[in-house]
Chains A and B, each alone.
Chain A
Amino acid sequence: MATVDAVVGPRRRSAGLLTVLTWIIGIVFFFPVLWMVITAFKREADAYTDPPSLIFTPTLEQFRALFDAGAWPYFLNSLFATTVSTLLVLALAVPAAYALAIRPVKKTQDVLFFFISTKMLPVVAVIVPIYVIAGRIGALDNVWTLIVLYTAMNLPIAVWMMRSFLQEIPAEVLEAAAMDGATLRQTLVRVLLPMVAPGLAATALICVIFSWNEFFFSVNLTASQAATVPLFLVGFMTSEGLYWAQLSAAATLASLPVVIAGWVAQKQLVRGLSMGAIK
């Protein structure tokens, strides 16, 4: 017993040290975010101090100013583009994943390979024709152009993810449904849908993150009408210098939806980021 205690003593102490270390690293890592949120509640004068200060009177004036500066249209465009493209992705990806997972076609591997290869195509390789074509058909500065592109951007991830979720459904479940005389529609809606609901949520989360944060297409293809939130932020890069407090408030607000969604769905995040490869 004495030897066991002798071992446990230092081990427990080193475990305690590791815990403290982990906490410190976590806080250091998070600090830029924390600093952004803190600065969002400062007046501009309090934002530029040397040394940086933590003592100030918090104010909501920056957030109020954002909406006076016309933040609304950007947020509405982002919300619309994100929501509609995510729904479109699911509408296209779920049947495709169903065909690849539950009733595999002969060339399943080739099809999967094709989908994922579109994800690896660098966007810079297609931006020029997209810009020229969109210009010719009058689709520049149109939120629907973004929706089509975001759908294409997220479709491969969604197909892979949904396939991996659908594959987990045991064949017996579907056979049992068929035995009981369920139609295809009934099988889909009553049997499959409830079983893959968590998978649908995870897939939607990933699509929302990527389309909400997307900047490259937005900066190149939109101007005043269809501009999204990242463009609103870029608007703070002016030649007269930056307004840090104002910028922080905008950055906080812009990041908030995705941060909250990601915090709530941490488990699904891993699976989504690995396109379903890691469970």
Chain B
Amino acid sequence: MSTDVATTAVPPQPAASARATVRSARMEGWRRRAPLLPALVFAILVTQIPFLVTLWYSLNSWNLVRPGSERFVGLSNYADVFADRVFRQAALNTVVITAGCVIVAMLLGIALALLLDRRFIGRSVVRTLIITPFLIMPVASALIWGTMMFDPLFGLVNFVLTPFGGGEYDWTSSAPLVSVIIALVWQWTPFMTLLVLAGLQSQGRDVLEAAQVDGAGAGRTFRSITLPHLRRYIELGVLLGAIYVVNTFDQIYIMTQGGPGTASSNLPFYIYQRAFLGFDVGQAAAMGVVVVIGTIVVATLALRLLFRSFAQED
């Protein structure tokens, strides 16, 4: 902007100033880049270098409790990982937990957003109540669900279900995945609600009124106008939610410890067990690399979407 004005305003002079222009252009380039560098260098140091080290570890056999056991083994850790039944189960559980949580939370989120997108008494109070589960510390929420909600004897969930024939059902041992997903849905529904609500409120009132004038009913209007408009908000919520939920650790650590057995172990929890309870650095690293490759697929989709959202705004 102002710099363009400055460079073009320089009267054209021969050789010496041409070199000066080149130099000032280069300096200008650095001036533009300089503010970016600290953040960039920091991010590379703290995230990329450890990942490279993970790659290296994954090619080694190394147990932390046996000093000097480190030796290069090539891809054999990867072969072990894929042959590991528990790893495959943890991978499947990760998919079930992520998909289950994100889909249910999104459906609930859409319903709640539609209810909140009306004028009524105490609307901001109800919205505040609904966003609160997202703000509760996840460790606290996992403890509350694991104990006071799901306890077979004194838990609120069984108490509420008593009239419907619920007995002393032991949620976290008999249905560990469902219990974890319920706690996660409770935490993530507000996130989805807020995103969808923002989408609903960005809708042009005139379009909706036009539809009404044209005689479209509420259901029709929702299907052909609101839903297409909401699409990018829903996609954004699903993908951002998935990125966070894939990494779920707190709820599993606290509510089920991955159990009974390994029934509710997901990848982050299983890798944690292998690294910090089994001290098997090589295998844990190889699993980490596999998770990253899996995440890249989802992440690529998410990034495209984010860029599209920004492109529409710009």
Q: Report A's interface with B, CB cutoff 8 A.
A: 15, 18-19, 21-23, 25-27, 29-33, 35-36, 39, 47-52, 92-93, 95-96, 98-100, 103-105, 109, 111, 113-133, 148-149, 151-152, 155-156, 159, 164, 167, 171, 174-175, 178, 209, 212-213, 215-216, 219-220, 229-230, 233-234, 236-237, 242, 244, 247-248, 250-252, 254-255, 258-259, 261-263, 266, 269-270, 273-275, 277-279
Contacts and interface: CB of A to CB of B under 8 A. Distances in A.
Contacts of A30: 129-130, 132-133
Contacts of B31: 103
A209 B118 CA distance: 29
27 contacts: A18-B120, A21-B115, A22-B115, A29-B186, A32-B148, A36-B140, A50-B154, A96-B38, A117-B299, A120-B302, A121-B47, A124-B249, A124-B268, A125-B51, A127-B271, A128-B54, A128-B284, A129-B53, A129-B54, A178-B1, A215-B249, A216-B268, A234-B254, A237-B254, A262-B134, A266-B127, A278-B233
A49 B154 contact: yes
Contact of A269 (B125, B136, B194, B253): B194
B128 A251 contact: no
A15 B76 CA distance: 64
Contact of A258 (B54, B135, B197, B288): B135
Contact of A15 (B35, B118, B126, B186): B118
B178 interface: no
Given A96-B35, A121-B47, A277-B309, A263 B128 contact: yes
Given A215-B139, A277-B313, A18 B118 contact: yes
A96 B40 contact: yes
A130 B198 CA distance: 38
A259 B136 contact: yes
Interface SS, A side:
helix
Contacts of B48: 118
A222 to B, nearest CB: 13
Given A35-B148, A124-B267, A155 B132 contact: no
B224 interface: no
Contacts of A103: 31-32
B132 A259 contact: yes
A23 B281 contact: no
B208 interface: no
Contacts of A22: 115-116, 118, 120, 126
B147 A242 contact: yes
Given A122-B291, A127-B272, A130-B50, A15 B120 contact: yes
Contacts of B34: 99
Given A120-B303, A152-B46, A254-B137, 19 more contacts: A30-B130, A47-B154, A92-B39, A95-B38, A103-B31, A117-B299, A122-B246, A128-B57, A128-B275, A129-B285, A133-B50, A151-B46, A155-B42, A155-B43, A230-B137, A254-B140, A258-B136, A262-B131, A277-B313
Given A92-B42, A126-B47, A233-B140, A32 B145 contact: yes
Given A129-B53, A175-B2, A270 B303 contact: no
Q: How large is the interface on B (under 10, 10 to 19, 20 to 34, 35 or more residues)?
A: 35 or more
Contacts of A113: 303
A201 to B, nearest CB: 16
Contacts of B121: 19
B272 A220 contact: yes
Contacts of A123: 247, 268
Contacts of A115: 39, 43
A92 B250 CA distance: 29
Given A171-B1, A216-B249, A247-B147, A277 B310 contact: yes
B305 to A, nearest CB: 9
B33 interface: yes
Nearest to A29: B130
Contact of A33 (B136, B139, B309, B313): B136
